[in-house]
Amino acid sequence: MNEEEVLAALRRVVDPDLGKDIVTLGWVSDLKVDGGAVSFTLKLTTPACPFQQDLVRQSKEVLEAMGASRVQVNVVYDVPRTTPADNLATHKIRNIIAVGSGKGGVGKSTVAVNLAVALAMTGARVGLLDADIYGASVPLMIGANTPPEVAGENLLKPTEVAGIKVMSVGLLVPPGTPIIWRGALVTKAIQEFIANVDWGELDYMIVDLPPGTGDAPLTVAQNLKLTGAIIVTTPQRASLEVALKTLTMFRKLEVPIIGIVENMSYLVCPHCGREIDVFGKGSVETVARHMQVPFLGSIPIDPRLREAEDNGELLVDFQDSPAAKALMDIARRVASKVSLLAYSRKKEEGEEGGGLSAFLPMPPKR
Ligand SMILES: Nc1ncnc2c1ncn2[C@@H]1O[C@H](COP(=O)(O)OP(=O)(O)O)[C@@H](O)[C@H]1O
Ligand SMILES: [Mg+2]
């Protein structure tokens, strides 16, 4: 076997999202062929890649089929950026994902916090910005209680929990203190959270928004070049109809919609194990199809999740619960959609990596 033959074989290993093979995508490097022993580096676009195991297994299969006795695949990651490289405040943050909803209490913070934790568990560098100034709940949910350190003049170092860099107004005031501010101050606080916080290098920043289409979501959408937004809703009409208004706001602001999540989708009866449809399971997926936005998954009502969040326990601690599994799947789906967005942007800019078979729905150009 020589290198050319090995590369030709690896061209049969195709990334399902991008519809291209790993050699064409430029993901194979450091190829060494020594008799029957083959080793190479496989560079993926995210450590949360849902196809990682499949790609490694397929690579081994095609090479073993042509006679390789030992195949070693060294997997590394390089998360592509969707944020502008020339923005001083955010140039080290590769992707910024906002989590919004129409109504409160539908699970935005739950999705935002657990998305951050799930991505960090895979090895990504993650930041979590709580833009819900009046209803900051990130510190409680993630179990953060030390205030950010002062890192220099006008610069704060975010509090770190489980490797995640967290910033929230809840970390700056004593517990129980209400924030009684007018909108202009909310806007200013969010701007400072971006400009005056030493976030460092991040693969993903997750922004937890307050409900609706007010000052905070608007500031986030206008001050940050967002990778995209995730909309969280419960399935009943009262929640879904208002969620769609938030979705429309993001579209108007030319923020791509990464997808919609159905939370509190159903309840599994702890006695008989049967699914109880509390709010009308499935309606969000139907609406997502109608609105031509990706459906990212449904999270069941799970008392274990609520309990964990009230106690600041992390997803890692209850990985076997149904809600935790759903949240992990959603995180992988989000990561792969973000990679797709990065590729489609590169293609728009005429850089390499284009020619994709699938694109995320982008807001219409004006
Ligand atoms: N799938 C779920 N199962 C059980 N409890 C949930 C679920 N989703 C959210 N919760 C709980 O519901 C409450 C509201 O969720 P939260 O994420 O704070 O909503 P939001 O940020 O949209 O206001 C929290 O106490 C949270 O723990
Ligand atoms: Mg919240």
Tell me, what amino acid is at 132? D
- Going by C-alpha positions, the residue among 73, 42, 62 that lies closest to residue 1 is 62
For residue 153, give the DSSP letter: T
Q: Which residue has the tokens 């489609």?
A: 344
Question: What pLDDT was estimated at residue 317?
Answer: 82
For ligand 1, the distance from its centroid to the CA atom of residue 101, given in whole angstroms, is: 12
How many other CB atoms are found less than 10 A from the CB of residue 169? 22
Quick check: pTM over 0.85? yes
Whose Cα sits closest to atom 15 in ligand 1?
Answer: 107
CA distances from 14 to 42, 45, 47, 55, 242 (A): 13, 14, 17, 8, 40
Question: What pLDDT was estimated at residue 350?
Answer: 63
Q: How far apart are CA 137 and CA 330, in angstroms?
A: 21
Under CATH, which number does the domain 3-77 receive? 3.30.300.130
Q: Which-ligand-closest: CA of 239?
A: 1
Residues 6+ positions from 283 with CB-CB distance below 8 Å: 235, 236, 237, 240, 262
Contact 103, 242 (CB under 8 A): yes
Which structure tokens are listed for 105?
């209490």
- Going by C-alpha positions, the residue among 347, 319, 345 that lies closest to residue 117 is 319
Whose Cα sits closest to atom 5 in ligand 1?
Answer: 306
Whose Cα sits closest to atom 2 in ligand 1?
Answer: 301
pLDDT averaged over 10-residue windows placed end to end, the chain, 366 residues = 94 94 95 95 95 96 95 96 86 96 96 97 97 96 94 92 96 93 93 94 97 94 93 96 96 96 93 91 96 96 93 87 94 96 79 38 46
For residue 280, give the DSSP letter: -
Question: What are the pocket residues of ligand 1 if the criterion is a CB atom closer than 6 Å to any ligand atom?
Answer: 101, 104-110, 137, 263-264, 299, 301-302, 305-306, 309, 323
Can you state the angle between helices 237-252 and 215-223, rounded to 10 degrees? 40
* Best residue among 106, 110, 261 to mutate for probing ligand 1, ranked by most atoms within 8 Å of CB: 110
3-state secondary structure of 62: helix
Q: Which-ligand-closest: CA of 326?
A: 1
Question: What pLDDT was estimated at residue 90?
Answer: 85
Question: What pLDDT was estimated at residue 270?
Answer: 81
Q: Which-ligand-closest: CA of 235?
A: 1
Can you state the angle between helices 183-195 and 215-223, rounded to 10 degrees? 30
For ligand 1, the distance from its centroid to the CA atom of residue 121, given in whole angstroms, is: 21
Whose Cα sits closest to atom 23 in ligand 1?
Answer: 105
Where do the structural domains in the chain lie, given as residue ranges?
Answer: 3-77, 96-348
Question: Residues 22-37, buried b or exposed e (16+ Cβ, 10 A)?
Answer: bbebebbeeeebeeee
Q: Which CATH topology does 96-348 take?
A: Rossmann fold (3.40.50)
